[in-house]
Structure 1
Amino acid sequence: MPALLPVAARAHGENPHKGAARPLVREQKPWGIAAAPAEANRTVTIRMGDDMRFTPSHLTVREGETLRLRIANRGKALHELVIGTPDELQAHAELMRQHPGMEHDEPYMAHVSAGQRGEITWTFNRPGDFEFACLIPGHYEAGMRGTLRVTPKP
């Protein structure tokens, strides 16, 4: 059974539960598993804005490392950061184009309002090449994505 820990939840658009704590479900994904902030080995700040870019746009992580990703939205529009495989992000972006108002929230995504900050804490326990992207309709297509390489343990 997955371990449950409280975390702040946010979804697309106006979320009536904005900032409400919800259980953290530790579900294994191809790119890793959710973690509590206290478990982080390292913190990385990723900036995003209305230029449809992430800075930095590439991260290298060691297999087994737990990162706290602090995401700062310097733009005037809602943006998000979603971690996944290239195929899963492409499929999710297509779904978002078909249903732009859909609300969802997973521990591998952060929806960040203009001028605000969000956070993801994630254990990258599988080596491989993954991506992160903003899947809000039009943002992904404009190139708002980055790469994430998880290097195997020595």
Structure 2
Amino acid sequence: MNKVGLVLLALVLAMISLTACGRRQAPATVIDVVMTDYKYEPNTFIIPPGKEITLNITNKGAIEHEFVIMKYGTNVGENFGDEDEENIYWEIEVKPGETTTVTFTAPEQIGQYQFLCGIEGHFTAGMSGTLQVAQP
């Protein structure tokens, strides 16, 4: 390949790279998440406000896990405990080896929400993430 061809190729690749970097992830109404001991994959999601959200959850861990969404403006401190129960927006438990599909209505309030596993010790082991409610 000659010098002109290499320059053109470099320019095309740079434009593709810049275009991809400028894209914002669109809010999703279907979310696939895998739970393991002790994390969520992925651990960040973007959803639209007020829409029905379908959550496909697979627990590949050896023990039961939960997917707990906290209310807007609330976060768990060092440990998830009884004092946090009143701040739960939505939750589900999934037994080890199970896959389940559930739906919930996304919060109307735009912003970040903490989600976590509410089983004792799982949050402190790092089992948490961020749910972003954003306009499409």
Using structure 1 for the length normalisation, give the TM-score: 0.58
The within-5 A match list for 1:29-68 is: 42-50=29-37, 52-68=38-54
Counterpart CA distance in 2 for 1:110 and 1:94 is 16
Conserved? CA contact 1:92–1:135, under 8 Å? no
* Pairwise CA distance, 1:89: 4.4
**In the alignment, which of 82, 100, 105 is matched to residue 118 of structure 1?**
100
Q: CA RMSD in A?
A: 2.6
Indicate how the Cα distance of structure 1 residues 42 and 87 shifts in structure 2: closer, same or farther if over 3 A, else same: closer
Counterpart CA distance in 2 for 1:152 and 1:92 is 31
Counterpart CA distance in 2 for 1:122 and 1:90 is 25
Conserved? CA contact 2:29–2:47, under 8 Å? no
* Pairwise CA distance, 1:137: 0.5
Using structure 2 for the length normalisation, give the TM-score: 0.65
Residue aligned with 1:87, SS: coil
**In the alignment, which of 90, 104, 114 is matched to residue 108 of structure 1?**
90
The within-5 A match list for 1:89-104 is: 89-90=76-77, 93-95=80-82
Question: Number of residue pairs matched?
Answer: 103
Partner of 1:29: none
- Structure 1 position 73 matched with structure 2 position 55: no
Higher helix share: 2
* Pairwise CA distance, 1:48: 0.5
Regions of 4+ moved over 3 Å = 88-92
Counterpart CA distance in 1 for 2:90 and 2:56 is 12
Indicate how the Cα distance of structure 1 residues 123 and 107 shifts in structure 2: closer, same or farther if over 3 A, else same: same
Question: What's the CA shift string for 1:74-131, capped at 9, x where partnerless?
Answer: 01101110111363544981228xxxxxxxxx88211111101234312222211102
Greater mean deviation of Cα atoms: 86-95 or 57-66:
86-95
AA of the residue aligned to 1:130: Y
Question: What's the CA shift string for 1:34-55, capped at 9, x where partnerless?
Answer: xxxxxxx8321110011x1101
AA of the residue aligned to 2:104: W
Partner of 2:111: 128
Indicate how the Cα distance of structure 1 residues 127 and 121 shifts in structure 2: closer, same or farther if over 3 A, else same: same
